[in-house]
Amino acid sequence: MDAPTNALAPGYRSVFRPNLFTGQTFWVTGGGSGIGRCVAHELASLGARVVISGRKVDKLERVAAEIAEDGGQCHSIAFDIRDEEAVKAGVAQVLAAHGPVTGLVNNAGGQFPSPLMAIGKKGFDAVVANNLTGGFLMMRELFTQCMEQHGGAIVNMTADFRNGMPGMGHSGAARAGMSNLTMTAAFEWAHAGVRVNAVAPGWIASSGMDSYGPAMQPLIKKLQNAVPLKRMGLEAEVSGVIVFLLSPAAAFVSGVTVQIDGAASLGHAVFPLAEAKNQRPFEGFHRAVTPEVLKS
């Protein structure tokens, strides 16, 4: 089943109660596209003041304008999470402008497909910096500059790495590291009232799929056939889990990584998948756009 088109509906169809986060500030890294964009929209629809960050000003400004058009509050700041000094300065700037940050969605990241034997040290280091080191810097700075005093919640982005990540071993290593870092931070920072969790999305119909070259497109089109639900996930189905982990209902949940993969990582190639039925995707994001690679 394809993701929804970009036809607009009146607003984000969140399952959470209105004004859940009114008066609170939430930060979404990598908020200029994909899952991060969706999360920013849902948080804003629930009354939060949202800060989005990334490297490309135009993408951030576009999302901020969307949220403002929908009646929400969104501010953007551009910097590279791999740059330690830029992270320190960016966090200080946001706190000075908006006050304490209640929740961080550590969503920024990226990778490229490659077998291990073809990955050079430069490429490996770049993917680890994107998906692990940068997230660590954001966590540390928000904790030391804000959350150690005020408490808060952090949700880190990983990926479906639990059976390895053939073809993306550098990303799998970084994502597994982030899951372990999540557990350590949850334990060390609990005394300050800070909860730290992670999500591990599988194959999600998101704009990131269009970043891969032509060689990957035939494979991407076939991915849903390897999912027991026989479809890809939607951005809103990831966002809903993230929002729950940020919410008061998860007040005693910390140190976990939640799989969001339609059970794809649980099976084996020798076990045939039955035809899917009774599918009811949660199409909550009113501005979702089907990736170009999935339209044909």
Q: What mean pLDDT do residues 81-105 have?
A: 98
Rounded to whole angstroms, the Cα distance separating 66 from 84 reads 30
Rounded to whole angstroms, the Cα distance separating 251 from 73 reads 25
Q: What's the pTM value of the predicted model, to 2 decimals?
A: 0.88
Query: What tens digit of pLDDT does each residue of 127-148 get?
Result: 999 999 999 999 999 999 999 9
Domain range summary for the chain, segments of one domain joined by +: 25-263
Reported confidence tier of residue 123, pLDDT bands at 50, 70, 90: very high
Q: What mean pLDDT do residues 259-264 have?
A: 91
Reported confidence tier of residue 268, pLDDT bands at 50, 70, 90: low
Q: State the amino acid at position 275 in one-letter form.
A: E
Reported confidence tier of residue 256, pLDDT bands at 50, 70, 90: very high
Reported confidence tier of residue 285, pLDDT bands at 50, 70, 90: confident
> What does the pLDDT read at residue 70?
96
> What does the pLDDT read at residue 167?
82
Q: What mean pLDDT do residues 77-86 have?
A: 97
> What does the pLDDT read at residue 276?
73
Q: State the amino acid at position 72 in one-letter form.
A: G
Query: Is the pLDDT confidence value at 5 over 70?
Result: no
CATH of domain 25-263: 3.40.50.720
Rg (alpha carbons) of the chain, rounded to whole number: 18
Task: For residue 182, report the phi and psi dihedrals to the nearest 5 degrees.
Answer: -60, -45
* CA-CA-CA-CA torsion sign (188, 176, 257, 200): positive
Reported confidence tier of residue 269, pLDDT bands at 50, 70, 90: low
Rounded to whole angstroms, the Cα distance separating 117 from 248 reads 45
* CA-CA-CA-CA torsion sign (31, 34, 39, 41): positive
> What does the pLDDT read at residue 288?
81
User: Which residue did the predictor score with more confidence, 186 or 6?
Assistant: 186
Whole-angstrom CA distances from 66 to 13, 48, 53, 60, 82 are 15, 15, 15, 10, 27
Q: What mean pLDDT do residues 82-108 have?
A: 97
74: helix, coil or strand? strand
